[in-house]
Amino acid sequence: MARKFLYVIAGITVFVIGLMFVLRFWSEDLTELTFVPSATFEPQPAMATNAWERPEMWISRPGMKNDPAHYLPAGSPLPPEKPLPVAVFFIHPTSYIDRQAWNASLDDPTSRERAALFVKGMASPFNASAQIWAPRYRQAAIGAFLTDDPQADKAIDLAYGDVLAAFDVFARSVPAGEPIVLAGHSQGAFLLRRLLRDRIAGTPLAGRIAAAYVMGWPVSIEHDLPLMGLPACDGADQAGCVMSWLTVADPAETGQLVKAYLRRDGLDGESLGAMTSDGLEAKSPFLCTNPLTGTRDGKADADANLGTLVPDFKTGEGSLAPRAVPAWCADDHFLHIGPSPGLDLGPYVLPGNNYHLYDVTLFWGNLRADFERRVAAWHRQH
């Protein structure tokens, strides 16, 4: 098991080093050459409506043995004796980096192993619940988010169709009247925005959402949030709201992150950017909630951090380091953590001090506490 974990880490290392090289020099042509699929998009049939009723279609689901979402790092609080009465639907980030296809096969072993690793680190803050559901889906290749090629939209739509079908099975499985938490990171967050619009907004399910964590993809305050059916989380004890953040250290170079954000339209179909004398700029700010405070545009020093998940790549384990990383929402709407923290987090910081791969693990302890607090707030209200 440890050897398999090291193979996964080695694969991710190659990916990150390549991505860092591309982003450092940021040539549009080089980016497409390196990551955008060279194949022609191949339409694929929709999965059977009951496909996600099969256990093998899930990375995590109730009753699964060796469930990666139920991992606990050293130093974390023990789970409650009685699991929290809440169901969690988690959409994992991109784990498919090949150029041979626009969408990952469900049987691709490398992307499956990476996805399980991401669920282990990013869904585990929610495991005070015994009901964590994380579906496998035919995710779009990472290159689909680095190009304006119309085939990219087709690949993303295919991935979204799988996530919707999985969510429908999840929603039917959750007991009536029980709260729901939705979470996703990166591609998972991008798809979660759409899911909130199409399955939550204006439906009875909206009243059952304790929180939605849309992490690592911007949520436009003007063009996304009004269609998602939930307000932003303004208070730490607020239930039924949206949290979202993108993490950078200082000095941060966010220009290319903003450019990637502007490449896609808002949920209302409107462009998110406008041409100015300085080039294409965002015309709508995006949401920044601070996971250390649980508040919109919050600020907190490192003492407020309950624990950063520091990985041990030799063993495949990790431990929590408390009071190591501050965070505040700055005028650029990114979540800043100051200078790079003095923790051995591995070689996965992207150029421009982009801590995208650490959006969750930097604040693992606080995200766990925030989740429990918002579920408790939902139960008080109902």
The token duo for 322 is 């408390």
Q: How many domains does the chain have?
A: 1
Q: Which residue has the tokens 């282990």?
A: 120
Task: Please report which confidence band the pLDDT of residue 155 belongs to, taking 50, 70 and 90 as the band edges.
Answer: very high
314 DSSP assignment: T
Q: What gap in Å lies between CA 66 and CA 355, rounded to an integer? A: 29
pLDDT of residue 81: 87
Half-sphere exposure of 113 (CA within 13 A, CB side): 15
- CA 62, CA 13: separation in Å to the nearest integer? 31
**Looking at residue 33, what is its pLDDT?**
55
pLDDT given at position 30: 47
Residue 164 is part of which domain span? 2-381
More confident residue, 234 or 19: 234
Res 277 pLDDT > 80: no
The residue among 348 and 229 whose pLDDT is bigger is 229
Taking 50 as the threshold, does the pLDDT of residue 240 lie above it? yes
Amino acid identity of residue 290, one-letter, is N
Residue 23 has pLDDT above 60, yes or no: no
Q: What are phi and psi of 33, to 5 degrees?
A: -60, -35
Q: What confidence category does residue 357 fall into, taking pLDDT thresholds of 50, 70 and 90?
A: very high
Helices (H), 241-337: 255-262
Q: What pLDDT digit, counting tens, does each position of 168-227 carry?
A: 999 999 999 899 999 999 999 999 999 999 999 999 999 999 999 999 999 999 999 999
pLDDT above 70: residue 234: yes
Q: 63-100: per-residue pLDDT in tens?
A: 999 999 999 999 998 888 899 999 999 999 999 988 89
Contacts of 379 by beta carbon, 8 Å cutoff, 6+ apart: 85, 179
> How far are the Cα atoms of 147, 199, 213 from residue 29, in angstroms, in the given order?
10, 38, 34
High-pLDDT (> 90) share of the chain, %: 75
Q: Which residues of 270-299 are buried (b: 16+ CB within 10 A; e: fewer)?
A: eebbeeeeeebebbbebbbbbbbbbbbbbe
Q: What share of the chain is helix, strand, coil (3-state, %, to 5)?
A: 35, 20, 45
In the block, residue with structure tokens 């932003």:
232
The pLDDT of residue 321 is 97
Higher pLDDT pick, 13 / 272 = 272
Residues 6+ apart with CB under 8 A from 308: 320, 321, 322, 324, 325, 341, 343, 345, 361, 362, 363, 364, 365
Residues 6+ apart with CB under 8 A from 26: 256
pLDDT for the residue numbered 280: 57
Q: Which residue spans within 152-307 are E strands per DSSP?
A: 180-185, 209-215, 241-243, 247-248, 273-276, 279-282, 289-290, 295-296, 299-300
